[in-house]
A and B are shown apart, each in its own frame.
Chain A
Amino acid sequence: MSFGDAVARLAARGGLVVQPRMGFADPARMRAGLAATRAARAATAGTITLDSYTRVNDHESVRLALHRGDALNGFPIVGHGPSVTGAMIDGIAAPDFPIQVRHGSADPRHIIAALLGAGLDATEGGPVSYCLPYSRTPLAQAVHNWARTCEALADARTAEREPHLETFGGCMMGQLCPPALLIALSVLEGLFFWQHGLRSISFSYAQQTNPAQDEESVAALHRLIGELLPQARSHVVIYTYMGVFPRTEAGALRLLAESARLAVRGGAARLIVKTTAEAFRIPTVAENVTALEYAATIARQELRATRPPQDTGVYDQARSIVDATLELSTDIGAALVGAFARGYLDVPYCLHPDNAGETRGYLDAAGNLRWKRIGSLPIRASADVVSARPMTSVELINSLSYVERTYDRIP
Chain B
Amino acid sequence: MKFDELARLVESPSLNIVVTSMSSDSHTWNLVYLQLVLEELGHRVVNLGACTPDEVIVESCLDQRPDLIVMSSVNGHGRHDGARVIRAIRGCPELAATPVVIGGKLDVAAGADGGVTAELLAAGFDGVFTGSAAIAEFRAFVAALPVPSPRELIGATPTLVDELTPVGA
Which residues of A are interface residues toward B (Cβ below 8 A)? 52-53, 55-56, 58, 61, 65, 70-71, 73, 104, 133-136, 138, 173-175, 280-282, 349-353, 357, 360, 373, 390-393, 396-397, 400
Closest approach, in angstroms, between the C-beta of B85 and any C-beta of chain A? 13
Write out the residue numbers on chain B whose beta carbons fall within 8 Å of the beta carbon of A56: 23-24, 51
Q: Given the complex of chains A and B, what is the CA–CA distance between A390 and B32 in angstroms?
A: 13
Q: Given the complex of chains A and B, what is the CA–CA distance between A391 and B77 in angstroms?
A: 30
> Which residue from B24, B31, B32, B169 sits with its C-beta under 8 Å from A58?
B24
Chain B residues with a Cβ closer than 8 Å to the other chain, count: 38
Q: Given the complex of chains A and B, what is the CA–CA distance between A175 and B28 in angstroms?
A: 12
21 inter-chain pairs at a CB distance below 8 angstroms, sorted by A residue, are A52-B25, A55-B24, A56-B51, A73-B108, A136-B49, A136-B51, A173-B29, A280-B111, A282-B76, A282-B108, A349-B29, A351-B31, A351-B32, A351-B49, A353-B49, A353-B166, A353-B169, A357-B164, A390-B162, A390-B163, A392-B40
Q: Given the complex of chains A and B, what is the CA–CA distance between A349 and B107 in angstroms?
A: 26
Write out the residue numbers on chain A whose beta carbons fall within 8 Å of the beta carbon of B76: 71, 73, 282
Whether a CB of chain A sits under 8 angstroms from the CB of B62 is no
Closest approach, in angstroms, between the C-beta of A283 and any C-beta of chain B? 10
Write out the residue numbers on chain A whose beta carbons fall within 8 Å of the beta carbon of B52: 136
> Which residue from A175, A280, A350, A360 sits with its C-beta under 8 Å from B162?
A360
Write out the residue numbers on chain A whose beta carbons fall within 8 Å of the beta carbon of B165: 353, 357
Whether a CB of chain A sits under 8 angstroms from the CB of B91 is no
Beta-carbon contact of A58 and B162 below 8 Å: no
> Which residue from B50, B80, B161, B164 sits with its C-beta under 8 Å from A136?
B50
> Which residue from B24, B31, B169 sits with its C-beta under 8 Å from A138?
B169
Beta-carbon contact of B25 and A349 below 8 Å: no
Whether a CB of chain A sits under 8 angstroms from the CB of B157 is no
Which chain A residue has the least Cβ–Cβ distance from B47? A351
Q: Given the complex of chains A and B, what is the CA–CA distance between A396 and B34 in angstroms?
A: 11
Beta-carbon contact of B29 and A61 below 8 Å: no
> Which residue from A138, A390, A397 sits with its C-beta under 8 Å from B160?
A390
Closest approach, in angstroms, between the C-beta of A284 and any C-beta of chain B? 10
Beta-carbon contact of A352 and B166 below 8 Å: yes
Give 4 nearest A-B pairs by CB, closest first: A134-B26, A393-B36, A351-B49, A281-B110
Write out the residue numbers on chain B whose beta carbons fall within 8 Å of the beta carbon of A65: 80
